[in-house]
Amino acid sequence: MTGRDDTATTAGVKALLTSGVVTACLYAQRPQDRPCCEAVGVVRYGPTTLCADCDRRRSAVGKGMAPVRLPDPSALLEVIAAQHACRHADIALRHAVSSARRAGQPWSAIGAVLGTTRQAAQQRFNEPVVATDPLTPDQHAQPASPGPNRRR
Ligand SMILES: [Zn+2]
């Protein structure tokens, strides 16, 4: 696995292990034994699964057994990373549309730049932005700008 974005990779590994589609490395829950364990299994020796790093450091585990290579988990990590990027892009788009509305842009202009109709843009975005901000639902209940059903 590459170390291009440690936080995203860690979250991806966690998602992958939680999904149950991959098997955890024998040492995944024993960081004191293998601090460099990558957690996601890539090879199996009988009932024992190891990550790439633990496989490189393997001595007695699986001795005399033929390794069975598992499908490359990094391909699934890329799917998870791409899905996260899509979610972030969607949130960014919703915030941008919300800002455009607060700046007085009509739904027709937002629809035009998005290559859709006023009505389609309004239906898609005319809902509270589900943000990762600390505001409580009550604080969101008070619209700071023109009402949500205002049309132009
Ligand atoms: Zn490992």
- Compute the distance between CA of residue 122 and CA of residue 79 in angstroms, rounded to an integer: 30
- Whether 136 is in a domain gets the answer no
Task: Reply yes or no on whether the pLDDT at 129 is more than 60.
Answer: no
CA of 2 to the centre of ligand 1 (A): 15
Residues 56, 101 within the same domain: no
**Residue 65 and residue 13 in one domain:** yes
CA of 111 to the centre of ligand 1 (A): 50
Digit-coded pLDDT (tens) for 53-74 = 999 999 888 888 999 999 988 8
- DSSP 3-state assignment of 145? coil
Exposure string of 115-145, with b = 16+ CB inside 10 Å and e = fewer, is: eeebeebbeebbeeeeeeeeeeeeeeeeeee
4 CA distance to ligand 1 centroid (A)? 19
Distance 67 CA to ligand 1 centre (A): 15
For 81-92, the pLDDT digits (tens) are: 999 999 999 999
Looking at the structure, tell me whether residues 113 and 54 fall in a common domain.
Answer: no
Q: In the predicted model, what is the mean pLDDT of residues 89-118?
A: 96
CA distance 89 to 15: 20
CA 21 to ligand 1 center in whole angstroms: 17
Domain count, the chain: 2
The stretch 4-16 carries a mean pLDDT of: 78
pTM over 0.95: no
Is 52 found in the same domain as 35? yes
Coil, strand or helix at 100: helix
- pLDDT above 70 (res 4): no
Range of the domain at 18: 6-74
Shared-domain flag, residues 91 and 67:
no
Q: Is the pLDDT of residue 104 over 50?
A: yes
**Cα of 87 to ligand 1 centre, how many Å?**
30
Asked, for residue 143, whether it belongs to a domain, the answer is no
